[in-house]
Structure 1
């Protein structure tokens, strides 16, 4: 029996994968296609289809997660709209670069190598921050409670905010920063979005916090709001060239619809310090998976493709499980604390 051109086993795999990634996407404002696209490449899909379908999946999932963050008051629409302006130009440049490299037969390898360096570098940084226990530099949802306190933002963000390059823009959380810095971050992440087939969240969300100084919960919600547009535009452009496979996207979205709501809700109850080390390890796992796949291609070892896919799925399962477990633990602690008061 087949559905949308896929066997039921493959449909089940995509639905389950979508569920895991939906949790990550809603919780971190990232974790969508930077796992989906490498997985599709490992499974043998053409580069353009893997990138385009990854963007289409990001678009659908970000809509679901953004609605939840909007309910929590964690979306800065002004910042989101400014990010869209810079991202739009970046996506087109990235997409044209993929088309050019594909014509030369170099797209798959170059995109894979870029994934390895980006995911590995960011993963190593996040893991280092987690192990070091630097709560100021790490990604911490508790920062929402002190969003207006300028001392709670990273030093580099304070330095950037000190540069008075008009026009200056006031953002939620008492943040004031140059318009040109916002547009620069947006263009860079848009370029990566179009080139790698990612929403850009695994770079943009940390950039909003570390570079611009936006409080983390607002950075997550605003990032997701922006991804609605960047993912929609990117998937539309790839769809025009036949790069979106609905038989992949539909089952992924079916799973992520539920997962994204869980992840978004968890941002208000979980201390992310408890699991950020796992997030860093997930990025490192993604980088390792792509590296293993490339080694398999060079040395003609098909078994490494399966190893790569297991690493990707395992990374998503590990961190999604950590988010759910931490949510349940936090709710139990709240319940335990409230019980004496009820008595």
Structure 2
């Protein structure tokens, strides 16, 4: 059975996939094109359609998730604008480096290895730091603009960067100040990696905002999503001009993610911060394995490994989104039980 010339089964599949990715996108501030584009490629769509439709989906989902984070007070607009400026400059320089590698014929192998190492490295670092932090290092769930962040909750690297008092100093959400030049330097570095690897960079920016600048994790997610609204919007517009955005893909994906993104964003105010970082690290580690499998398949000319890679990506998305949903429900039940005990007392 078809609807508007598209299989109902395919529409249902895209809607379910959109719900799954929306939860991850709203919860982590990343995961859209990282998951959608490879899936569309394996399904047989042309590369430009896969990338263009993925960007359009990222744009729509980031708008939905950002609005929810705004309602929760988890978006630092001032920091977001500064990060956009620095990231844009870094992307341009990264593209120059990528074009040089393409010129000498090393782009494919270097980018593939760098992508796997970066995904795996960030995932391992975040997971290790979170497990090491235990239960005593988490910030409060709700981030109020007038609430100061305890210095013990700020990573050592971020404390070092905050110690460079080079004017002008910028006051950020959480009650601390960071030099404008330090923010731009971090933004430029993340943009450089994004431009070099040809990725949106959400999996780079979110941990950078926390570990390098010291922004609370929920605010780091919300601010990263705010940035993605602009990058995804520009990218999808450019691809749409060349007819590479397939609405039969984008619309059902967005229908599912409209709910998923709000659920994921709401979960950041419920789930323990250490749990957020652990889930994020696991997602990146599994992503690194998936990318590595796909690259090995290309080298060995074994197309079946593309399907294995996709299965790993989908399995990781299902596993982590399920864990996020379970943790959020558990916290809601715990809060309800505590309120019930308080009312009875």
Other-structure match for 1:206: 207
Residue aligned with 1:236, SS? helix
Once the two structures are overlaid, the 10-residue window that deviates more, 64-73 or 90-99, is: 90-99
Q: Does the aligned pair in 1 maintain the 2:134–2:274 contact within 8 Å?
A: no
> What TM-score does the superposition give when structure 2 sets the normalisation length?
0.86
Residues 226-252 of structure 1 show CA distances to partners (whole Å, capped at 9, x for unaligned) of 111122122223444554443332222
Other-structure match for 1:16: 16
Q: Does the aligned pair in 1 maintain the 2:74–2:143 contact within 8 Å?
A: no
Residues 14-67 of structure 1 show CA distances to partners (whole Å, capped at 9, x for unaligned) of 222221111111112222222223333444444444333332222111100111
Residues 100-122 of structure 1 show CA distances to partners (whole Å, capped at 9, x for unaligned) of 88899977665544432221111
Residues 147-182 of structure 1 show CA distances to partners (whole Å, capped at 9, x for unaligned) of 432232111111111112232222121221121222
Name the Cα RMSD after superposition. 3.0
Give the deviation of 1:72 after TM superposition: 0.9
Residue aligned with 1:199, SS? coil
Q: Does the aligned pair in 1 maintain the 2:66–2:226 contact within 8 Å?
A: yes
Distance 2:162 2:6 in 1: 51
Other-structure match for 1:179: 180
Distance 2:304 2:226 in 1: 39
Other-structure match for 1:119: 119
Other-structure match for 1:277: 278
Give the deviation of 1:220 after TM superposition: 1.6
Residue aligned with 1:70, SS? helix
Count of equivalent residues: 342
Residues 109 and 140 (structure 1), Cα distance of their counterparts in 2 relative to 1, 3 Å cut: farther
1:173-252 to 2 correspondence within 5 Å?
173-194=174-195, 196=197, 198-252=199-253
Once the two structures are overlaid, the 10-residue window that deviates more, 84-93 or 103-112, is: 103-112
Residue aligned with 1:165, SS? coil
Residues 177-214 of structure 1 show CA distances to partners (whole Å, capped at 9, x for unaligned) of 12122222323333444555543221111111111111
Residue aligned with 1:30, SS? coil
Residues 5 and 64 (structure 1), Cα distance of their counterparts in 2 relative to 1, 3 Å cut: same
Q: Does the aligned pair in 1 maintain the 2:59–2:232 contact within 8 Å?
A: yes
Q: Does the aligned pair in 2 maintain the 1:168–1:176 contact within 8 Å?
A: yes
Residues 102 and 12 (structure 1), Cα distance of their counterparts in 2 relative to 1, 3 Å cut: farther
- Structure 1: tracts of 5 or more residues without a match: none
Residues 97 and 272 (structure 1), Cα distance of their counterparts in 2 relative to 1, 3 Å cut: same
Other-structure match for 1:162: 163
Other-structure match for 1:74: 74
Residues 86 and 75 (structure 1), Cα distance of their counterparts in 2 relative to 1, 3 Å cut: same
Other-structure match for 1:342: 343
Residues 63 and 95 (structure 1), Cα distance of their counterparts in 2 relative to 1, 3 Å cut: farther
Distance 2:108 2:281 in 1: 25
Residues 87 and 278 (structure 1), Cα distance of their counterparts in 2 relative to 1, 3 Å cut: closer
Residues 267 and 301 (structure 1), Cα distance of their counterparts in 2 relative to 1, 3 Å cut: same
Residues 243-266 of structure 1 show CA distances to partners (whole Å, capped at 9, x for unaligned) of 444333222222111100001111
Residue aligned with 1:169, SS? strand
Once the two structures are overlaid, the 10-residue window that deviates more, 114-123 or 88-97, is: 88-97
Residues 97 and 3 (structure 1), Cα distance of their counterparts in 2 relative to 1, 3 Å cut: farther
